[in-house]
Amino acid sequence: MTLLPAPSHTGIVFRRTDADGHGLEIAAHVDNVVDDRMCTTLGDGNGASIATVEHLMAALSGCGIDNLYVEVDGAELPIMDGSAAPFVFLIECAGVVAQDAPRRAIEILKPIKIEDKDSQVELLPGDGFSLGFEIDFRSAAIGRQDMTVELVNGTFKSELSRARTFGFIEEVAQLRAMGLALGGSLDNAVVVSGDEVLNEGGLRYRDEFVRHKILDSIGDLYLAGAPIIGRFKGLRSGHALNHAILRSLLADQSCWRYTNVPRDQDDLFEELNEVPAAVSA
Ligand SMILES: [Zn+2]
């Protein structure tokens, strides 16, 4: 994967550079999601696709990156350690530059809510961008976890970026039979067995699980095509429900409007360095 600078108003655009990718060039937008069972996959409907975009999208949102080309020489982004921290590291190594155009955001104007069985998601008006999430698992390793965080002044990097994806060992056989999680291991996920975490080093945050759910939600919501100004609340939600509320939001013009991000909220990155040609993982 290589990240390349892009002009203002480009948005985030993925490109397949391998022969099997048929030159796929696709915008990071919820309209282009073709699969959201385990991870988020973007595709053009003609067979070529790029999977597992959510952790990079979260890092881009958290680091305030509006315009970028993401070149990938395969059908899936590198999973790295299952978190967004390696991507934040790469972005910081490369440096970020402020462009001339104002940042355009999607401002939530009135509450919108979606429920599915015992899961629900909400988007509400608010200053800045904040996310609350609650999960409830029978496993004592996870239990009930609840967190609210506002994305300002590097909170993505410090509070969320290192939270890894997680799974239950009991589900691995089933997932593999479906052709999913084939590369999943203790190196790129927190693996829970019953009431125990199997990873030797334990957890990176006491409540790493809910933090990863917030990280995922940030990546999912960035498929709006612009940063969101408002509050997100998730209860036992996942990729599919996060995408569903985004589609409902964008379809209802009375719920949102485009607005320029005020300069004082445009402080996700404290240091701006010169931008290099590209950075790779
Ligand atoms: Zn994830």
Q: What is the mean pLDDT of the chain?
A: 90
| Ligand 1 mean position, distance from CA 19 (Å) | 28
Has residue 270 got a pLDDT over 60?
no
Has residue 266 got a pLDDT over 80?
no
How many other C-beta atoms can be found within 10 angstroms of the C-beta atom of residue 26? 20
pLDDT of the residue at 186: 84
- List the end-to-end C-alpha distance of the chain, in Å, as a whole number: 5
| Ligand 1 mean position, distance from CA 59 (Å) | 12
pLDDT of the residue at 269: 42
pLDDT of the residue at 112: 97
Has residue 28 got a pLDDT over 60?
yes
| Ligand 1 mean position, distance from CA 165 (Å) | 5
| Ligand 1 mean position, distance from CA 55 (Å) | 6
pLDDT classification of 174: cutoffs 50, 70, 90? confident
pLDDT of the residue at 37: 82
| Ligand 1 mean position, distance from CA 220 (Å) | 10
Tallying the residues shown for the chain, one arrives at 281
Has residue 134 got a pLDDT over 50?
yes
| Ligand 1 mean position, distance from CA 267 (Å) | 25
**Catalytic (active-site) positions:** 239
pLDDT tens readout for residues 189-206: 999 999 999 999 999 999
| Ligand 1 mean position, distance from CA 198 (Å) | 18
pLDDT classification of 45: cutoffs 50, 70, 90? confident
pLDDT (mean) for 245-260 = 96
When comparing pLDDT for 91 and 277, which is higher? 91
pLDDT tens readout for residues 64-97: 999 999 999 999 999 999 999 999 999 999 999 9
| Ligand 1 mean position, distance from CA 212 (Å) | 6
Across the chain, where does the E strand assignment appear?
A: 2-5, 12-16, 25-27, 33-35, 41-43, 49-50, 68-72, 104-108, 112-116, 119-124, 129-136, 144-150, 166-168, 190-193, 196-197, 228-235, 256-260, 279-280
CB–CB of 249/46 below 8 Å? Answer: no
